[in-house]
Structure formats: structure tokens, C-alpha cells
Amino acid sequence: MSSIWSLRLISPFLVGANNLAKRKDGTYNRKLGDLMELKVAANPKPVKGVKTRDVVVDSETGVWVRLFIPTSVRNSSPVAEEAASSGKEEAHEESDKKLPVIFYFHGGGFTILSADFVLYDAFCRRLARKCEALVISVNYRRSPECRFPVAYDDCYAAVQWLRNQQHSSATVQSDDLLLPHNADLSHCFLMGDSAGGNIVHHVGLRVAGKDLTPVCIKAHILIQPFFGGEERTPSEKRSVPIISAASTDFYWRAYLPQGANRDHPACNIFGPNSSDLSNVPLPPSLVIAGGLDVLEDWEVRYVEGMKKAGKEVHYLFYKDGIHTFHLFNQRKIGLQLMLDMCAFIHGHCQ
């Protein structure tokens, strides 16, 4: 059975389980929702060449991040790549090769999932290994308990934390350093999927034009970003796996300020209430869309709007991609996406 049809069969169960925690009054049963999400603990011992560590970045809010730290740098030869893909471990010494830094903002409509959700832990581990990068996955506070703009505040705070961590490292013993010695803060990237892709855009707006030395954001990567508007687009009327227009409507009601509609600028980036981005100094961006995703039309509009605003935008379309297909490592396109993203990242590390 193909992966597409397998996902079509299991997606009603995934969606149904999530719907159990949604209440008609717009609130969310957090205890029930978290019970249905399989979480994994951080592991200081390397697994497939990557170790993980959880760090609180804001003691007042409780926001924390999971660091995915490559413990070795793989040979780039085809033989080594094949060994890695087959699960075989190679012996490598610690390297001084500079590691780009990727901030990862998870999806879930601002309401569900977390940095320690099993699929995000597995994906960020693959990302750190394949891209040979330090990945910082942010566990931001979720709605409806914490509405707009809390998710943006928390993720921006993580960027500030990284800057402060580097500044304080001179007074810390090497054994106690949180960051690997070869983390390259001059080559940082904002990456996220779904609601996390939305967060990439809005945190990117906050960062734009600010001097965060030694942190420098080189590019944005938005994987099937969660945008929308009051208009109902053709792709939102599709019957596709994992996500529906009804569920996206719920998430927007849960996150946006009370009384706001989907033309709020957090949702509709180039809508009637949004600001002109022409003079905002944004870095290049990579936008990824899938042909089996209700959000496809809004993603295309985002690309078009960014280009009209004079921004450098690269667009990748995967015809058979369901929403968040990268988490399911969906057959060949999951691997291709990883290769494409790593090529984009290393292309901006020159």
C-alpha cells in the first residue's frame, strides 16, 4: 500500500483523537490533549550521531528549548551517506568544523504538539545530522491559554537567549557550556512548519534590522506555513489527509485576540489589515508547499506577496505532499525535502 493511501486511512484517527480535546466553546482540554501526544525525553547520549539537551531559556515563563547537537561530522562521501541512511554508525572524532544554527518552531496550530513530541524529536534529530547543524527547537506556550502574540514573544526570547548565552560563555567552564564549541552564530536560520512557519515570518519581522551580534539570521525556511484569511480558497475546500479548514478555523479562533477574524495581520500577511513590508530588511526565504494540503493557496499567496514586496523568495512544491509530510518522512519526497533544505542552508553559509 502506498504511503499516501496509508496516511489517508490513519489520518481520520489522528484527527479524531485531536478533536476529542477541542471544546465547543473554543477552549482546549490540555490534559487530555497532552495524554494523546507521545513525548520523548532528552538524551545526553548520542543516538544516530546526535545528543539532546533541554534548557530553560526564560525562568519567568517556563519556556524551554531542546538542543540537538551533532557529536561528529560525517564524511560527505556517498559511502558515508549510504552508511548513515542504513542506520550504521561510523566512528568519528569531534570536529572543529563550524555548525550553522537552526531555530526550529514546531507546528500544531499554536494549540497542540511540543518540542518533545516524538515526531518533532525524530525530525530535528535527522535535521541536525543531515545538515550538520545545531538545532534549537523551541517549546513555546500554546493557545488558547496563551493567545497572540505569546508564541511570537517566546520564540523571539529564544533568539535573545542564544545571543546572551554566547556573551556569557567566556565566564563559564568549558565542561558546562550549553552550546557546542563550534556553533557558528554568524550563520543562523529560522525554520518552522505550519504554525511554526507562521512564527518564522513574525519573529523574522522582529529581528529584521536589529543588531543581535553575534547572532545573525541568514535566511528563513517556512515549511507549509499556517496563513489564512476570511476568504475561503479552493485548496481549503479539499478533502485531504491530516488537516481540514474546520480545524484551521478552530486554531485561529484559539490563537487570535478575542473578536478578531482571520484577516488579522498575524493570519493574513498581505490582507486588508497588514502592513507594507517593502522597506523591512528581511533575509532570503525558502517556502515549501504540498499538493495535498488545504493551506497550499495561502502559501502561494505568501510567496507572491513577498516577491511583490521585493523580497528574495525560493519556492518548492511537492505534488504528493500532505500537510507536515516531512514529519512522516513521506517516502521519497521526505528525503528530497531534507536534501533541498540542507542545500539551501549550506548555500547561505558561504
- Tell me, what's the pLDDT at 4? 45
The amino acid at residue 80 is A
Q: Does the annotation mark 59 as catalytic?
A: no
Q: Classify 57 as helix, strand or coil.
A: strand
DSSP percent split of the chain into helix, strand, coil, nearest 5: 35, 20, 45
- Tell me, what's the pLDDT at 166? 63
Q: Pull the grid cell for residue 336.
A: 528530497
Indicate the burial class of 255 (C-beta count within 10 angstroms; 0-12, 13-18, 19 or more): buried
Whole-number Cα distances in Å, 164 to 169, 237, 261: 9, 46, 37
Q: Does the annotation mark 25 as catalytic?
A: no
Q: Which of 18-32, 52-66, 178-192, 272-286 has the lowest mean pLDDT?
A: 18-32
Q: Which of 37-51, 165-179, 209-223, 333-347 has the lowest mean pLDDT?
A: 165-179
- Tell me, what's the pLDDT at 81? 44
- Top-confidence residue, 302 or 330: 302
Q: Contacts for 212-217 with beta carbons within 8 Å, 24 or more apart?
A: 212/159, 212/160, 212/163, 213/163, 214/163, 214/166, 214/185, 214/186, 215/159, 215/162, 215/163, 215/166, 215/185, 215/188, 216/185, 216/186, 216/187, 216/188, 217/159, 217/188, 217/189, 217/190, 217/283
- Tell me, what's the pLDDT at 147? 98
In the predicted structure, residue 332 carries a pLDDT above the cut 60 = yes
In the predicted structure, residue 155 carries a pLDDT above the cut 90 = yes
Q: What percent of the chain has pLDDT over 70?
A: 86
Q: Classify 162 as helix, strand or coil.
A: helix
Q: How far apart are the first and last CA of the chain?
A: 42
- Tell me, what's the pLDDT at 3? 46
| Residue 249: φ, ψ to 5° | -60, -40
Q: Kindly indicate the confidence band of residue 240, based on its pLDDT and cuts at 50, 70 and 90.
A: confident
In the predicted structure, residue 331 carries a pLDDT above the cut 80 = no
- Tell me, what's the pLDDT at 74? 59
Candidates 194, 235, 244, 285; catalytic one: 194
DSSP string across 71-89: SS----SHHHHHHHHTT--
Q: What is the CA radius of gyration of the chain?
A: 19
Q: Which of 92-96, 156-160, 211-215, 326-330 has the lowest mean pLDDT?
A: 92-96
Q: Which of 32-36, 48-52, 160-164, 180-184 has the lowest mean pLDDT?
A: 32-36
Q: What is the mean pLDDT of the chain?
A: 89
pLDDT digits (tens, 9 = 90+) for 159-212: 999 999 865 554 444 445 789 999 999 999 999 999 999 999 999 999 999 999
Q: Kindly indicate the confidence band of residue 14, based on its pLDDT and cuts at 50, 70 and 90.
A: low
Looking at the DSSP bridge assignments, the partners of residue 70 are: 50
Candidates 116, 154, 293, 297; catalytic one: 293
Residues 134/183, Cβ–Cβ less than 8 Å = yes
Q: What is the mean pLDDT of residues 222-227?
A: 98
In the predicted structure, residue 11 carries a pLDDT above the cut 60 = no
Cis peptide before 149 (omega within 30 of 0): yes
